[in-house]
Amino acid sequence: MDAEQQLRVLLNDARLAEDLKHIAQKVLNRERITFDEGVTLYEKGELSYLGILANYMREKRHGNKTYFNRNFHIEPTNLCVYDCKFCSYSRLIKERSEGWEYTMDEMLDIVKKYDNEPVTEVHIVGGVLPQYDMAFYQGLFSAIKAHRPDLHVKALTPVEYHYIFKKAKVDYATGMRLMKESGLESMPGGGAELFHPEVRDKIAKDKCTGDQWLQIHEEWHKLGMRSNATMLYGHIEEYWHRVDHMEQLRQLQDRTGGFQTFIPLKFRNKDNQMSNVPEVSVIEDLRNYAIARIYLDNFDHIKAYWAMISRTTAQLSLSFGVDDIDGTLDDTTKIYSMAGAEEQHPGMSTKELVELIKNVGRHPIERDTLYNVVTDYMDYEFADAPKPQFYKLPVIN
């Protein structure tokens, strides 16, 4: 059965509760679900039910297509002025001996390492330190674009921009315009965590608020530019906090249309101040992906970071609303591994990513940052693929 047939069979199941049947009918009719219905999905939606709804929405929008890109990360520093309780990556300035601080030249050397590689994006994000100020990043972005104009610069979160702009005494609108003029082309979705102050004040009190995070993205969208959004889930929050987070994203997307992708980020409890909080199960991961796909009806893409949740869970997620599994990475990020992710040295070749997608019956598409198709790998044959062997057999008369 195709995705629509599965949904129609579900709707004819007499055992299905009326409130869940009503939500399923709204999904079939392409009607928006409400806040309370979002909470109902978390409280009552079983995995199989959520998978049918989310896969229907995924396939209506993307069919079997599954996206990835060729990218690498630059993480300028893991030292930070902020003390987020969930973070395994950053070190406070007093722990400087455990950290790194790249110079601009060192970061440009990382970029130059990929001069002969067909990467399309550099993803820049890290800790917050005073020396990485507005002038520093303007110079870095300009230098990257001068060296390699075709390389898309996706860089920094509102946490970093809020600090940088405050230090430079410019407002958000001016700051984002200056970043764009320096070569910034899109923004990643990090730093969102959970917007509601009941949770945010406990896990990330000092950095920008949820409202400020949203304001910075809105100013970026007003410039005609695109960005992503994230949500950190599976720690001390309640289900309604997750729905509140997605509701605020959905409202901003209604106003601007500037978000491309939503990326749920699983809380990992290794080596941080919340190590006493157990991690949620893979089933909860898949339920969360599915509900995100159902609730965020105005987001084009739902992404699973394979490096954070494992290759196997990433494959499973492609049946629960996910249509993007990020990129090749080339072991250039420590954010996931330091938090206890299964992938301690995250990196996959293009061939490995293609095979991972094909092995679950999906259609692999290499994209650029803005989801333009770079290569369709459905019928692609890699140059190093083994050739069939033919042997001359004796002729029997």
At CA 299, angle to CA 294 and CA 149, rounded to 5? 150
Q: Tell me what pLDDT residue 388 has.
A: 46
Tokens of 247: 């509701």
Q: Tell me what pLDDT residue 350 has.
A: 87
Q: Tell me what pLDDT residue 219 has.
A: 98
Query: Strand 363-367 to strand 373-376: parallel, antiparallel, or no bridges (unpaired)?
Result: antiparallel
- Kindly give the confidence (pLDDT) of every residue in the chain, 397 residues in length, as a single tens digit, with 9 standing for 90 and above: 899 999 999 999 999 999 999 999 999 999 999 999 999 999 999 999 999 999 999 999 999 999 999 989 999 998 888 877 877 655 555 566 667 899 999 999 999 999 999 999 999 999 899 999 999 999 999 999 999 999 999 999 999 999 999 999 999 999 999 999 999 999 999 999 999 999 999 998 889 999 999 999 999 999 999 999 999 999 999 999 999 999 999 999 999 999 999 999 999 888 787 888 899 999 999 999 999 999 999 999 999 988 888 899 999 999 999 999 988 755 444 444 444 445 445 568 888 899 999 999 999 999 999 999 999 999 998 876 554 444 444 454 4
Q: Tell me what pLDDT residue 212 has.
A: 98
- Measure the CA–CA gap between 220 and 141, rounded to whole angstroms: 16
Is 80 annotated to bind a ligand? Reply is yes
CA distances from 52 to 2, 27, 33, 44, 46 (A): 10, 10, 16, 15, 10
Q: Tell me what pLDDT residue 269 has.
A: 83
Please say whether the beta carbons of 182 and 146 come within 8 A: no
Q: Tell me what pLDDT residue 337 has.
A: 41
- Measure the CA–CA gap between 81 and 94, rounded to whole angstroms: 10
Q: Tell me what pLDDT residue 293 has.
A: 98
Is 208 annotated to bind a ligand? Reply is no
Tokens of 370: 């803005």
Q: Tell me what pLDDT residue 119 has.
A: 93
How many angstroms separate the first and last alpha carbons of the chain? 51
- Measure the CA–CA gap between 168 and 72, rounded to whole angstroms: 29
Q: Tell me what pLDDT residue 94 has.
A: 52
Please say whether the beta carbons of 140 and 88 come within 8 A: no
SS3 assignment for the chain: CCHHHHHHHHHCCCCCCHHHHHHHHHHHCCCCCCHHHHHHHHHHCCHHHHHHHHHHHHHHHHCCEEEEECEEEECCECEECCCCCCCCCCEEHHHHHHCCECCHHHHHHHHHCCCCCCCCEEEECCCCCCCCCHHHHHHHHHHHHHHCCCCEEEECCHHHHHHHHHHHCCCHHHHHHHHHHHCCCEECCCCCCCCCHHHHHHHCCCCCCHHHHHHHHHHHHHCCCEEEEEEEECCCCCHHHHHHHHHHHHHHHHHHCCEEEEEEEECCCCCCCCCCCCCCCHHHHHHHHHHHHHHCCCCCEEECCHHHHCHHHHHHHCCCCCCEEEECCCCCCCCCHHHCCCCCCCCCCHHHHHHHHHCCCCEEEEECCCCCEEEECCCCCCCCCCCCCCCCCCCCC
Contacts 24+ apart (CB under 8 A), 366-370: 366/67, 366/68, 366/69, 366/70, 367/67, 367/68, 367/69, 367/324, 368/69, 368/120, 368/121, 368/152, 369/69, 369/120, 369/121, 369/152, 369/154, 369/185, 369/186, 370/152, 370/186, 370/226, 370/260
Q: Tell me what pLDDT residue 85 has.
A: 82
Q: What is the phi/psi pair of residue 91, to 5°? A: -125, 135
- Type of residue at 151: L
Q: Tell me what pLDDT residue 191 has.
A: 93
